[in-house]
Amino acid sequence: MVTIAAALAEQIVGRTMKIIPFSVNVMDGRGEIIASGSPERVGDLHPGAQLALARQDTVEIDQAATFRLPGTRAGINLPLTVRGEICGVVGLTGDPDQVRQFGELVRVTAEMILEQAQLIGELQREKRYREEFVFQLVYRTGISDVSMQAWAARLGVDLRLPRAMFVLEVPDVSHRLDLVLSQLHQVQSELAGRWPELLTAMISPGELVMLEPFVVAGAQMSRAQQAQQRLQELNRVAQHALKFPSTLSMGVALPGLDGAAASYESARQVSRVGRLRTPEQQLFSYFELSLPVLLSGLESGWQGEQLRQTLFKLKAYDRKAGTLMKTLAVWFRHNNHAIETAKAMHIHRNTLDYRLQKIGELTGLDLADTDDRLLLYVALQLSE
């Protein structure tokens, strides 16, 4: 049953009394006055409204009828209908012959206000429903897979499609938490207006996540370009409302309930790795950082320690200038092409050959051997 909140009833009274010269009352589904141009009447039962509710029709009360209905005043009472259901009554106090001409205007105005409030309430409930679904995908607080799948079906989310999680982060929210939250909610609202099907959720004070399908077919380069384009589109909308420094990261695209959670974790890792490697950048994609992100799991444990040992002597020798480490990084960046590497570093080819030879001596690895070269590359990625 539709109910009329007191604040909404007061809004009806306030708006209608600005356009008519009579006192207006709003009664609920029991006939109790919940807002009135005569505040002392709030809380009283209104016999005329109760009669209008019982008859489901307009009831006029003239001066003579007030003697038969104690507690009433002359006026007109009109049932309020929202979506085919009577939810209350609006009354105008005064001689029926004088207030009758305003009755329909007040009733229509009141019903429009109630309809709008009902729609806004439904949209807010739907928004919370969608947001809670995304929150549960990220944190999984004990809701069963069957329930989550039914939830997805209710929202029209096809879990068979690969979906990517985007994470918008404001790194430092300690000083202006209220303003950060306000701006992130504004970002969320603008994203919903631009892409209604985009699933979003605020999952921490400085973190807004977005989930949407992402095509994973095709070459890695093509996926990387699509990801970067989508990051730029989302970021343009976000930066319109967000005035604090932020990063936007995209995780791997995977299907299923577990895929969404994994995409979120990968997006967080993409953000961490991206900020460490290129702190001046703002947008980071798994499809551009997939290898260092995947390797980041080796940072702890004996495997990571053994990989770091590969560069121990090289770093010790290179401690001051860092020339050999820079040379190694540029060489890998240019796919081991000597001429392109020398050109990029503005050095002679012979100088490059000497440095590469020295790197091999210090690491004990053969740069012409595929396994040794891969081991060196992985160690360098962890080092970076």
Domain ranges of the chain: 6-114, 140-296, 303-383
- Residue 288 DSSP symbol: H
Q: Residues 181, 263, 379, 283: what is their CA dihedral angle, to the nearest 10 degrees? A: -50
pTM, rounded to two decimals: 0.66
pLDDT the model gives residue 220? 65
Tracing tokens 């989930």 back to the chain, one arrives at: 211
Instruction: CATH number for 140-296: choose from 3.40.630.10, 3.50.50.60, 3.40.50.2300, 3.30.70.270.
Output: 3.30.70.270
The reply to whether domains 140-296 and 303-383 share a CATH topology is no
pLDDT the model gives residue 342? 92
pLDDT the model gives residue 79? 96
pLDDT the model gives residue 120? 80
Residue 150: C-alpha distances to residues 125, 222, 251 (Å): 17, 34, 25
User: pLDDT per position in the chain (384 positions), as tens?
Assistant: 678 999 999 999 999 999 899 999 999 999 999 999 999 999 999 999 999 999 999 999 988 888 887 778 899 999 999 988 999 999 999 999 999 999 999 999 999 999 988 888 877 888 888 999 999 999 888 889 999 999 999 888 999 999 999 999 998 777 678 888 889 999 999 999 999 999 999 988 889 999 999 987 666 668 889 999 999 999 999 999 898 889 999 999 999 999 999 999 999 999 998 988 888 999 999 998 888 888 877 766 777 778 778 888 888 888 877 899 899 989 988 889 999 999 999 999 999 999 999 999 988 889 998 888 888 888 888 776
Residue 331: C-alpha distances to residues 152, 317, 336, 380 (Å): 48, 19, 5, 12
Instruction: CATH number for 6-114: choose from 3.30.450.40, 3.20.20.70, 3.40.50.300, 1.10.10.410.
Output: 3.30.450.40
Instruction: CATH number for 303-383: choose from 3.40.50.1400, 3.40.30.10, 1.10.10.2840, 1.10.10.10.
Output: 1.10.10.2840
pLDDT the model gives residue 70? 78
d(CA 299, CA 276): 14
pLDDT the model gives residue 218? 64
d(CA 167, CA 271): 8
